Amino acid sequence: MGSLTLPEAPARTGSFRPILGAAVFLFVAVLAMAGVKSYRDLEAARRHKDLLESRIQGTQAEIARLRSKIERLRSDPGTLERLAREDLGMVRPGDVVIELPPDSAAPLVPKAAPAPAPLPTPVTVSTTASTPAPPPGHP
């Protein structure tokens, strides 16, 4: 049998290496930008988490303070009486009540009237044409 000869493949004039290199570089650049954005988003989420945790701690402290106040109101009659006197204006029979005028009322001593503003000094304007002044001693 005869030998079969395969035709030679044509020589490549262009190479895919530069295109492949550019595609890989573009992929890595996009991946890096996405990583930077993800890192920023993660940091923002951490700051938000810290803010929420501090709010939770503040709210828990306020809850503890209010529970303590409720317990004092239930068990301490002195606290209850003080609040009734201060907040509700309640008095015991036989207490003397002195009512003072509110702060917004007119004061008992009249204030001195403010001094009037000084008047502007008059300015004289001459509208006559300038003429030489007569020498001293001339009428």
As a whole number, mean pLDDT of residues 27-44 equals: 93
- pLDDT of amino acid 15: 78
Burial of 83 (0-12, 13-18, 19+ CB in 10 A): middle
Among the ranges given (22-31, 36-45, 90-99), the one the predictor scored with the smallest mean pLDDT: 90-99
| Confidence class for position 86, pLDDT limits 50, 70, 90 | confident
Question: In the chain, where does DSSP find H-type helix?
Answer: 17-75, 77-88
Q: How far apart are CA 85 and CA 24, in angstroms?
A: 80
The token duo for 63 is 């809850």
Neighbours of 31 (CB within 10 A): 9
Please tell me whether residue 51 adopts helix, strand or coil conformation: helix
Out of 20-24, 30-34, 62-66, 126-130, least confident range? 126-130
- What angle, 0 to 180 degrees and rounded to 10, lies between the N-to-C axes of helices 17-75 and 77-88? 100
| Predicted local distance difference test score (pLDDT) of residue 95 | 85
Most confident of 12-21, 32-41, 103-112, 118-127: 32-41
69 contacts 82 by C-beta, under 8 angstroms: no
Q: Which of 83, 80, 84 is nearest to 71 (CA)?
A: 80
Burial 38-51 (b: 16+ CB within 10 A, else e): eeeeeeeeeeeeee
